């Protein structure tokens, strides 16, 4: 079974990018960073829209069927 990205890890990888950013910009950013494949894959699956922050984009990678939201995910929200 493929490894799932932790939304907190996704947020950490995205923390130094510029926002607002589109899905395509975020995917390209993590590819350019040579981020872990599970992070790239998770961002490729988020809705195609603009995101205001790393936390907002990271939340989109969370699948509620996989269990409760990891603690601290909203910690970087403005």
pLDDT of 33-63, one tens digit each?
Answer: 999 999 999 999 999 999 999 999 999 998 7
The reported pTM is: 0.79
Evaluated on CA atoms 40, 46, 49, 53, the torsion sign reads negative
pLDDT at 50: 97
Q: What are the residue ranges spanned by the domains of the chain?
A: 7-61
């Amino acid at each position: 079974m493929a490894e799932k990205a932790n939304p907190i890890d996704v947020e950490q990888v995205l923390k130094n990018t510029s926002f607002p950013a589109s899905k395509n910009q975020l995917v390209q950013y993590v590819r350019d960073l040579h981020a872990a494949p599970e992070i790239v894959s998770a961002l490729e699956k988020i809705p195609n829209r603009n995101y205001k922050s790393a936390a907002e984009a990271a939340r989109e990678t969370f699948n509620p069927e996989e269990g409760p939201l990891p603690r601290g995910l909203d910690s970087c929200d403005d």
